Amino acid sequence: MSTFKQRMQTGAILTRSNIKHFERPDRLPRAMLAMRKWGTSPAGILAASAARYPENVALIDDEGSITYEDLWARTNSVAAALADRGVGAGVGVGILCRNHRGFIEWLMAAAATGADITLLNTGFASPQLADVVEHENISILIHDNEFAAIVSDCGVEQAFDEDALNSFATSNRMVEPNNRGGRIVILTSGTTGRPKGAARRSDSSALEAVAALLQKLPFKIGDTQVVCAPAFHAWGFGNLLLGIGRCSTSIINRRFDPSATFDSLAEHRADVLVVVPVMLARMLELPSKSKLPTPNLKVIASSGSAIGSKLVLDVLKFFGPVLYNLYGSTEVSFATIATPEDLAEAPSTAGRVALAVDVEILDAAGNQLPDGRTGRVFVGASMRFQGYTSGGTKEEIRGLLSSGDLGHFRNGLLFVEGREDDMIVSGGENVFPQEVEEFLNQHPAIKDAAVVGVPDDDFGQGLAAFVVLSDELTVDEVRAHVKDHLARHKVPRQVHFVDELPRNPTGKLLRRSMIDTATGGPNDD
């Protein structure tokens, strides 16, 4: 599609999304004036929504609710206090906060000053935090009180906690607009080695990404969303920002609790639930009495890690046709969207290519492969990252970035078979862990499963399976289950029964941890 056609289609989708919501004629012009004044940074998005719907509840968290008008006033006060302390254009600010209003207030205030912001993983240990602070040039660190101990040793020039936030927010001052649009740095998952900083700037290309979502997901102006995905990750952060952009009410809690999530969906008659797949699994594991009805729920937006076909079917059965799965990465943004209809047709699909995005399956020489042929997934999207803050970027071919995944197309649907780095070569045969994991997870006695490759004297690599049981099962029964249905080279040589699989906060498997376990100890029976 040409750039002109993309812009026309984007404009039409955004216009339709506003026409569906009737409002006073002065609201939208007020928002446009605020955006012109503040630019397209996160602070500009909040300013526009506060001008458009000041009375709407912006956030509900453990402290209660806060309107857009009050959130914007507190943002200005905090921004002015930060500016007094040297925060401004080009200054590196790190935010180490869980999901609560303080994350939003600090983020918006720092963005209003034009600072460069890095979102920090709340799961960091002290050495990891110090390492990232040094390599991302963070001089100001904003943090929740619970992280005071690890922050004290990380080497930043200044650190501000929740007490400082409450002090800064009471000044009733206004900060001068800075529409420079400092960059937002989101760290990659970092399942191995130091997480890399992926830099983005706010610009008009974000409108294409918003239009792509609105084309597929039935978001509405002023709807209510429960955001469980961590705010420091691209998926949680993006949905909080998108919610602010559509003047929605976002319900957030510092820690995910599956029962409390059902309570929030029911109490607030929420329209949207934003999660990573492992959260959905934990919600469905609850006893029936804890699963409150969710009649208003129109969208379950899931991303951040692979979602298994069994979980897809379980979610569709319990919640109805409301599950939308988005595939992408921090670097390439989102590439495909699977609607409830797509998932009902093919539960393992990553969906269809999103508006204004190109996805190609390439061979080792960079040639495009036909439907049905497995190859490397490359993505071209307007919201792609600018590059890693440490230098370098992802591999690029004809303007398309490598996603790092292997997959294929079938009937317009993308199927992701796994990470390139995770592929196991056993006895000369390629094995994709995800295929074996999908099969294991379909066993009624298996609650969760993961497969990694480990050194093997006979086959070069062998498979080690890590299994979480919901009922009794032996090692031999696990192996026999795979052997009876899949090729011999896909049968695990090792089976380890564990209480839970190691995952990062977005639900991605920590395969290195499992490899270390498999190579350092005996098989668990």
DSSP secondary structure of 295-317: TT--EEEE-SS---HHHHHHHHH
To which H or E segment does residue 213 belong? Answer: helix 206-216
- Compute φ and ψ for 430, nearest 5 degrees: -80, 130
Give helix then strand counts, H and E, for the chain. Answer: 17, 25
pLDDT score for 180: 66
Domain ranges of the chain: 423-520
pLDDT score for 525: 44
Nearest to 356 by CA among 190, 205, 139: 205
pLDDT score for 457: 83
Tens of pLDDT along the chain (525 residues) come to: 455 565 566 556 655 555 456 678 889 899 999 988 888 889 999 999 999 999 999 999 999 999 999 999 999 999 999 999 999 999 999 999 999 999 999 999 999 999 999 999 998 889 989 999 999 999 999 999 999 999 998 989 999 999 999 999 988 888 887 766 688 998 886 544 567 787 665 455 567 778 888 889 999 999 999 999 999 998 999 999 999 999 999 999 999 999 999 999 999 999 999 999 999 999 999 999 899 999 999 999 999 888 989 999 999 999 999 999 999 887 878 899 999 999 999 999 999 999 889 999 999 999 999 999 999 999 987 666 767 777 667 888 998 999 999 999 999 999 999 888 888 998 888 898 999 999 999 999 999 999 999 998 888 899 999 999 999 999 999 999 999 989 888 999 999 999 999 998 888 899 989 999 998 854 444
pTM passes above 0.95: no
Max distance between CA atoms of the chain, in angstroms, equals: 74
Nearest-angstrom CA–CA distance, 78 and 74: 6
Domain 423-520 belongs to what topology? Answer: GMP Synthetase; Chain A, domain 3 (3.30.300)
| CA terminus-to-terminus distance, the chain | 56
Nearest-angstrom CA–CA distance, 520 and 374: 33
Token pair for 460? 């070069």
CA 284, 285, 289: angle at the middle one, nearest 5? 80
Query: Which residues, 6 or more positions from 447, have their beta carbon under 8 angstroms from its beta carbon?
Result: 285, 468, 469, 470
Query: Which residues, 6 or more positions from 507, have their beta carbon under 8 angstroms from its beta carbon?
Result: 276, 277, 278, 279, 304, 305
pLDDT score for 524: 47
Nearest-angstrom CA–CA distance, 243 and 241: 5
- Compute φ and ψ for 514, nearest 5 degrees: -70, -35
